Amino acid sequence: MRGVHYALGGRPIFSDLDVQVRRGRITAIMGPSGTGKTTLLKLITAQVPPDQGELRVFGQELATLGRREVYALRRRMGMLFQNGALLTDMDVFENVAFPVREHTDLPETLIRKLVLTKLQAVGLRGAAALMPAELSGGMARRVALARAIVMDPEVLMYDEPFVGLDPISLGVILRLIKHMNGALGITSIVVSHDVQELATIADDSYLISGGRVAASGTPAQLRASDSPAVRQFMTGGAEGPVPFHYPAPDYATQLLVAED
């Protein structure tokens, strides 16, 4: 991404944003809530176009691609959605098999082997017949990860993969992200605001604030930053340049108007 600008409903989300994700590495995209981290993934997957700037994926300029080319590009990607997003009326096996059935004409015997292999990789081969309602939060996230890798993507994106997980499940997901990236030789993009967790797995990190990159580098380099905004985020400080309140009119004036 080079000089990317994007606004939603007239509200600027990104202003002159520069981000580079390097092949074979785990790149962390961090930032306070509402900074557009999930929107960044939508731009990368061509769900929304930037208003301005250059956005290239696999060397292809997204603005020049037609629908068929965009669909082909997305088949080279995997996505772990927030909270898993499993299909509730399908069991674990069919959830993982879903992308394969949609995009290929593989015989049933091969689909079975493929799905069981991916479930084995996330430690849930024995849960293949369970329904999503029977899974814990950590198990559901692991099933979603198996579905995300079932098509052997070149790029795997994680949207807030640690939300709502207990410490044990969180540790399992962290280990799987690191293991999948190395074992499968893929490129991973992890979007999250969980600083400590990302520091254990990320090769490169970007901190987004105010619509642009506030800092980038290794997790250690971000922790050593002298920038007040970066230090506030990395240490979880309540006071600093990153505001708690969303922009609003003067409080007293607005209360008086409400009374009238």
**Ranges of each domain in the chain:** 2-76+153-259
pTM: 0.81
Which CATH number is 2-76+153-259's, of 3.30.365.10, 3.40.50.300, 2.50.20.10, 3.40.50.2000? Answer: 3.40.50.300
| Sign of the Cα pseudo-torsion (39, 41, 44, 48, in order) | negative
* Highest-scoring range by mean pLDDT, 12-21, 165-174, 187-196, 202-211: 12-21
User: Residue 183: pLDDT band by 50, 70, 90 thresholds?
Assistant: confident
**259 pLDDT above the threshold of 60:** no
Using the CB atoms, write b or e for 214-227: b if 16+ within 10 Å.
bbbeebeebeebee
The C-alpha atoms of residue 12 and residue 168 are separated, in whole angstroms, by: 38
Highest mean pLDDT among 6-10, 127-131, 204-208: 127-131
